[in-house]
Structure 1
């Protein structure tokens, strides 16, 4: 049962192969088994690749099975259409398009399995890229908010500087009227005279202005600090919103790009393995000498080709004979006097009808 199944997978003619020796049958059983197991590997490979896209096992298995059947049909077609020829060079030219197709299939099959085999290394590359993307993302978001935060901080510093400058001025006025009272400066008269009162009034006005300035600026600073807090909150919110996008940066394309950043030699050897598996049925047929099955298949095709050529030649001869007969018949009929008189009479009647019709049309026009 298994032998018959693998023969079907090889694309060989069962009726011809059943009449061949066991060795010839085993050759095609091996080719069919290679085609079948290549399709199995294609199914597994496609299922994993699609699982990284859809994240659902059922969908990945369905599409993976369809892909496996497609690869099975292609491989079976490739092997079945290679015919043994008397010249190895002609056989290679015949198989060259199929070899190119086999190389493409090997690449498609091997790539998802490489992603699975090097999953840990790929995850490390993706982690490094995600960390760098996180830093770059924070830098970009900070570039949107930091200038405004810095501007508000400068405004707060200006308000605080204004208070400090006012305090320095007020303290200077304080020192001035105290020195006047003590007689150290100004009039240098001890006691609280008119000059002292004047300077004390200036200080009191400045002190009132200072207190009012502190109150006004404190309110402005509080408002600006709230604005800074809101900007910082918005910055954190943007970072929180964009972080899931970075965290989900592990799709099929991202993994393929990460795989390309790993050393190429292990990946290349895996590709060579699948290329050898995919092209082995083709090269098995190319390398193997003509066997019993090939001779019988060639005989069958030659018999059909000869029969078709005979049928075509027979139809051509029949057509040529029929043309000759028709020419001879019509030539003999052309010499008959009775047929000539009859056609002459019919032509005369037709010309009369045409003349009458022309006369009636001209009469109506006039």
Structure 2
């Protein structure tokens, strides 16, 4: 039962194969098994590849089965139509399109398996890329806010420096009127004289101005700090909003690109494995020796071709003969006077009717 199933998978003529030996049946059962398991491997690999895209088991399995059946039908058709010839090079030319297709399919199907085998290494590469993307994202967003934040920070520093400068000026005035009172500077008279009072009043006025400046600048600093806090909050919000996009960076294309950054040799061997699997049905048919089934099939096709050629030749002779007979018949009829007189009479009547019709039409127009 299993042998018959694999023979069916090989695309061989079961009726013709029944007339062959058990060895021929085993050979074509092996070819059919290669076709079948190649399709199974294609279905599994494509299902995994589609799962990485759709992230849904049912969708991936459904389309994976369709892909496997397509590969099965393609391999079965090519194997069944690949005829054994006297020259092996002619067989290679006949199988060349399928071998090139096997390379393409092997590349497409081997990638999902590589992604699964090297999943941990790929995750490490993706993690490094995500971290770098996070840093780059923060830097790019910061470029939008840094000039404004620096400007606001500069305003705060300027307001603070203005207070410091004012404090320095007030302290100098304080030292001036104290030195006047002690007689160390100014009039050099010890005591609180008119000059002392004048300097003291100037100091007190500047001290009051300092207090007013400090209060005003503190209010302005609080306002600016509020703006800085608002901008910082807005920056943090944008970073948080864009972070899920970075965290979701890990689709099929990203994983394939990450795989390309790993050493190429392991991936190359996996590709060779799938290339061998995909080309196995064709290689098995090419390497199989020419057996009784191939000879019987060639004999059957030759007999059909001979019969078709014979029938075609007979039809050509029949058509040629019929044409010659018809030519002779019409040649004999053309020489009869009775037929000539009859056609002449009918032609005369037709021309008279045309003349009458033309006369009536012209008369109506006038």
Q: TM-score, normalised by structure 2?
A: 0.96
Question: Per-residue deviation at 1:307?
Answer: 2.2
What is the alpha-carbon distance in structure 1 between the residues aligned to residue 223 and residue 77 of structure 2? 78
What is the alpha-carbon distance in structure 2 between the residues aligned to residue 16 and residue 261 of structure 1? 54
1:112 maps to 112
1:349 aligns with 2:357: no
1:198 aligns with 2:198: yes
Q: Deviations over 1:200-225 (max 9, x none)?
A: 22112111111111111101111111
Question: Per-residue deviation at 1:21?
Answer: 0.8
1:300 aligns with 2:296: no
What is the alpha-carbon distance in structure 2 between the residues aligned to residue 242 and residue 16 of structure 1? 68
Contact 1:106/1:275 (CA < 8 Å) preserved in 2? yes
1:148 maps to 148
1:46 aligns with 2:64: no
2:255 match: secondary structure: helix
What is the alpha-carbon distance in structure 2 between the residues aligned to residue 305 and residue 104 of structure 1? 37
Contact 1:41/1:109 (CA < 8 Å) preserved in 2? no
Q: Within 5 Å, which residues of 2 pair with 1:308-347?
A: 308-347=308-347
Tell me which moved more, 134-143 or 343-352: 134-143
Question: Per-residue deviation at 1:128?
Answer: 1.5
What is the alpha-carbon distance in structure 2 between the residues aligned to residue 129 and residue 81 of structure 1? 50
What is the alpha-carbon distance in structure 1 between the residues aligned to residue 17 and residue 245 of structure 2? 59
Q: Deviations over 1:269-310 (max 9, x none)?
A: 111111112222212222222111111111121222222222
1:262 match: secondary structure: coil
1:137 maps to 137
1:85 match: secondary structure: coil
What is the alpha-carbon distance in structure 1 between the residues aligned to residue 18 and residue 140 of structure 2? 73
1:163 aligns with 2:181: no
1:212 maps to 212
1:230 aligns with 2:221: no
1:12 match: secondary structure: coil
2:87 maps to 87
1:267 match: secondary structure: helix
1:282 aligns with 2:282: yes
What is the alpha-carbon distance in structure 1 between the residues aligned to residue 3 and residue 103 of structure 2? 28
Q: Which runs of 5 or more residues in structure 1 are unaligned?
A: none
1:182 aligns with 2:199: no
Question: Per-residue deviation at 1:85?
Answer: 1.0
Question: Per-residue deviation at 1:358?
Answer: 2.5
Aligned residues: 366
What is the alpha-carbon distance in structure 2 between the residues aligned to residue 349 and residue 116 of structure 1? 94
1:33 aligns with 2:33: yes
What is the alpha-carbon distance in structure 2 between the residues aligned to residue 107 and residue 300 of structure 1? 39
Contact 2:103/2:275 (CA < 8 Å) preserved in 1? yes
2:16 maps to 16
What is the alpha-carbon distance in structure 2 between the residues aligned to residue 102 and residue 306 of structure 1? 36
What is the alpha-carbon distance in structure 2 between the residues aligned to residue 222 and residue 18 of structure 1? 99
Contact 1:71/1:105 (CA < 8 Å) preserved in 2? no
Contact 1:159/1:221 (CA < 8 Å) preserved in 2? yes
Contact 2:49/2:109 (CA < 8 Å) preserved in 1? no
Q: Deviations over 1:322-352 (max 9, x none)?
A: 2222212211111111111110001111111
What is the alpha-carbon distance in structure 2 between the residues aligned to residue 15 and residue 148 of structure 1? 87
Tell me which moved more, 223-232 or 156-165: 223-232
What is the alpha-carbon distance in structure 2 between the residues aligned to residue 209 and residue 309 of structure 1? 122
Contact 1:10/1:32 (CA < 8 Å) preserved in 2? yes
Q: Which runs of 5 or more residues in structure 2 are unaligned?
A: none
Question: Per-residue deviation at 1:312?
Answer: 2.1
Contact 1:103/1:275 (CA < 8 Å) preserved in 2? yes
2:245 maps to 245
Question: Per-residue deviation at 1:114?
Answer: 1.3
Task: Indicate the RMSD between aligned Cα atoms, in angstroms.
Answer: 1.5
1:187 match: secondary structure: coil
What is the alpha-carbon distance in structure 1 between the residues aligned to residue 92 and residue 43 of structure 2? 29
Tell me which moved more, 64-73 or 187-196: 187-196
